[in-house]
Amino acid sequence: MSMGLQESQSRFYENMLGRSRAFSGVLLNLLQEQFDYFRDWSADELYEAVNIARPSLIRTEADELTYCLHIMVRYEMEKELFSNDFNINDLPEIWNKKMKEYLGIEPATDSEGILQDIHWSGGSFGYFPSYALGNAYAAQILQAMKRDIPVDRLIRSGDLSGIMTWLTEKIHKYGSLKTPAELIKDISGEELNADYFTAYLQEKFSALYHL
């Protein structure tokens, strides 16, 4: 029913399940079956490795903590473009300045800067905020899910069918029958609240970095 909710499912599986401490043990077992390199690794070491937080130039390679800063760069530029606040020829320079402002790093080439995404060349203006909305939806969905089923235990077992069943019953089966606002309120009991996502990030990375 919206690209924000669609992205919530991607972000949920990729990050909140795939980069969780509970899944690290499952993933490590799979890696150790295939690669000798991981023979002496622990699940904690793998968990830390897949959750390193540091500024990066490429959005699709960004960690959970800095990802939304990449979205802010693009969203602000889109708004300014449609407000005619600057010339299109100035976009690479403006991009680089915003990356420096938000992430403290600056691209050396346009290929690792403004040309890295296909969205604008394909006409998908206004899509980038869907990723940030997806993060917010996913965190709120995760909290609601944890009230109903033992999420971490299911992840550690390596059997995600119970999680998929919950998502099917609460989200997927409705298609576009509900608006995003109706759906998230039915799931969680309240309107979309980004505090769940910021709390998720704070709890996760405070523990990872012993803050």
**pLDDT value of position 211:** 93
> How many angstroms separate the CA atoms of 147 and 144, rounded?
5
Task: Using alpha carbons, select from 193, 186, 183 the residue that is nearest to residue 6.
Answer: 183
**pLDDT value of position 20:** 97
Residue 40: φ, ψ to 5°: -100, 10
**pLDDT value of position 84:** 83
Contact, 92 vs 139, CB < 8 A?
A: no
> How many angstroms separate the CA atoms of 77 and 182, rounded?
31
Structure tokens given for 112: 């690792």
Residue 63: φ, ψ to 5°: -80, 170
Q: Please list the pLDDT of the chain residue by residue as tens digits (211 residues).
A: 899 999 999 999 999 999 999 999 999 999 999 999 999 999 999 999 999 999 999 999 999 999 999 999 999 999 998 898 788 899 999 999 999 999 999 999 999 999 999 999 999 999 999 999 999 999 999 999 999 999 999 999 999 999 999 999 999 999 999 999 999 999 999 999 999 999 999 999 999 999 9
**pLDDT value of position 87:** 84
**pLDDT value of position 1:** 87
Ordered structural domains, the chain, with CATH: 3-208 (1.10.1370.30)
**pLDDT value of position 88:** 86
Structure tokens given for 33: 């079956």
**pLDDT value of position 41:** 98
Contact, 149 vs 167, CB < 8 A?
A: no
Structure tokens given for 1: 């029913």
> How many angstroms separate the CA atoms of 163 and 154, rounded?
8
